[in-house]
Structure 1
Amino acid sequence: MEKLVVFVYFPAEGVALLPFIHIFELPIDSYGLANVVAYGLAAWVAYSLALQDGRDKRDAFDFILVAVISALFGAKIFHTLFEAEGHKLSDDSVATGVWDLLADDPLHWADLFAPGYVFYGGVVVSSFATMIFIYRREITTPVAFADYAAPALAIGMGIGRVGCFMAGCCYGISTEVPWGVTYPAGDLAALGTVHPVQLYDAAYGFVAFALIVVLYQKRQFSGQAFLALVGSYAFWRFGTEMLRADDDRGIWLVGISTSQWVSILSLPLIVFLWRQWSKLYPRSEEQAS
């Protein structure tokens, strides 16, 4: 079976499948567009669920605003902190760490339209930011807001990973599988046929969205949908990290990547919260039906 050949454009860093989409003859950055669509749709999903659950419109809107802004900067800051090594600098040299990267580009962490986001960073920073917001606003049953965010995170991840595929980042290791993709030129061409890991993660996001929507309707306690998503993602991400070839994302002790460490460390917390929230925030049979 023939391999899929990806025809690419070569920007300053790496390669891209479709770097620009032309709308009315105007070139639109495909990675940036994917992120705008991902965050916009995710915000709409979470906001709609909050209103359906009887939440105040202002509380729902402000929650979404805090969540989106903190997620954007959290994902970008984690990228800057943990994926700086190996990053190409303006003089074509390579950064040896975060200080080199920031010395070359002090606002790298704020360049929201450039490729380079860490999903876990967005979740961690957004979780803390929204917890502070909910505490200060004195919102009742605060963990219910986590459930509103669960399907939003899933659909956002699916669309965002399609953007990664178009940008040529987060690429996979060499493979002989028939659905592997080949970059015909540039640095990645030397890898030959590689796993389209970005599309694996995109598929997970879309499937998870469908399943979490069903679970959301039948959840037994507030927060269950959110914990189910982040728990399943921890297992999924640990596995797909084994297929990634972009070592600049951070490889630490015994060859385990940053995201794999986060996956490992998050699972005990997820189990603990599952037990606690199921006792503290149970839903009635009528609510869970």
Structure 2
Amino acid sequence: MCPSLSLFGYSIPTYGICALIGVGAAFLIAFLRVRKSSAHSAEDTMFMLLYGMVGVLVGAKLLYLIQVSPALIRDLPLLFSDVQTFSARYLSGGFVFYGGLIGGIAGAMIYCRQFKLHLFDYANRLIVIIPVFHGIGRIGCFLSGCCYGIPCDPPLGIAFSQSQIAPNGIPLFPVQLLEVCTNLLLFVLLLWLTNRKQCKRSDGVAFYLCYYAVVRFLLEYLRYDDAERGFIGFLSTSQFISLFIFAAGILLFIKGDAIVSFLERKLKI
């Protein structure tokens, strides 16, 4: 579609632009969600998100490298003979959402433990920003051609012509845009749920985990980038992780109060 934009003589990847827009939107929504609350510190929220963003980058890249580890091991000699090629293949791109989700949560937990905060005091306010960031990021995926869908006849199928990732000239189902829509719906549902007085501190996270796990499991059947995703048996890596994410969400729904209490008493988060 449009893998890069030319600005002042520089070529800027559209994926990176979308990622920055997603981060900005996430921080803005988070600030608006906590600024009128006497129980939440805007300063702590912003720094918690910064820790989380570092975790997102590290986790997303690590899981990607794990997924492509057979090819990575095979290409290790390039690290000494052709660093530029090795970097282009494995370091300049390639991020996996579930790795970023796990890393982002870990980053927020580290901040809470360091500054003696309780993660679930902020969870319902902040969980809504994840589908916002994720959805905008998927627009970047569509523009650059990564995470592409299965072959599909027009009018649903869209052929890429400039992508360095997706096969060009073959109509493909725009699964990235479908995921944008599912994230938008998730954002609306989370706003409704977390603004209800009956909502428990863990309900927003539980709903997010269950909803996205099911959606991601199903969307994987519409993906065609098999070489990038990795497989565990007959399931893609993301489908395999989705099973555990869904189980964690159900457990939070059933035993949320006990789990939150354990985290606060034992892990000091």
TM > 0.5 fold call: yes
2:264 alignment partner in structure 1: none
Residues 54-69 of structure 1 correspond to what in structure 2 (within 5 A)?
54=38, 55-69=40-54
Q: Give the percent of matched residue pairs that are identical in Structure 1 and Structure 2.
A: 25
Cα drift, residue 39 of structure 1: 1.6
The corresponding residue for 1:143 is 120
Once the two structures are TM-superposed, the CA of residue 253 in structure 1 deviates from its matched residue by 3.4
Cα distance in 2 for partners of 1:272, 1:101 equals 41
Match of 1:214 among 189, 192, 208: 192
CA shift for structure 1 position 110: 9.1
TM-score if structure 1 supplies the norm length? Answer: 0.77
Aligned to 1:92: none
Q: Given that residues 54 and 107 in structure 2 are in contact (C-alpha distance below 8 angstroms), is that contact kept between their aligned partners in structure 1?
A: no
CA RMSD of aligned residues (A): 2.8
Change (3 A) 1:214 1:280: same
Deviation at 1:75, TM superposition (A): 1.1
Q: Corresponding residue for 2:266?
A: none
Q: Are 2:72 and 1:97 aligned?
A: yes
Any unmatched runs of 5+ in structure 2?
Answer: 262-269
Letter in 2 for 1:135: R
The answer (yes or no) to whether the contact 2:138–2:179 under 8 Å persists in 1 is yes
Say which SS state the counterpart of residue 179 (structure 1) adopts.
Answer: coil
Corresponding residue of 2:107: 129
Give the match's secondary structure for 1:242: helix
| CA gap 1:280/1:72 in 2 versus in 1, 3 angstroms | closer
Instruction: State the 1:32 CA deviation.
Output: 0.8
Contact 1:165–1:198 (Cα < 8 Å) also in 2: yes
| CA-CA distance at 1:204 after TM superposition | 1.2
Query: 1:233-271 deviations in whole A, cap 9, x for unaligned?
Result: 100000010111111233333321000000012222211
Shift of 1:135: 2.0
Cα deviation, 1:177-196, whole Å, max 9, x if unaligned, reads 63111235887147x32211
Q: 1:20 to 1:280 in 2, by over 3 A?
A: closer
Return closer, same or farther for 1:279/1:72 CA change in 2, 3 Å cut-off.
same
**Residue in 2 that maps onto 1:90:** none
Where structure 1 has 5 or more consecutive residues not aligned to the other structure, the ranges are 1-16, 86-95, 283-289
- Does the Cα contact within 8 Å between 1:80 and 1:109 map onto a contact in 2? no
CA offsets 1:178-227 (integer angstroms, 9 cap, x no match) = 3111235887147x322111111111112211221122211510121222
Match of 2:246 among 267, 271, 286: 267
**Amino acid paired to 1:75:** A
The answer to whether the 8 Å contact 2:193/2:199 transfers is no
| Alignment deviations for residues 106-163 of structure 1 (CA, whole Å, 9 cap, x no partner) | 767995xx442111111111112211221221114x2132223321101111100000
SS of equivalent to 1:37? helix
- Aligned with 2:24 (options 13, 16, 40): 40
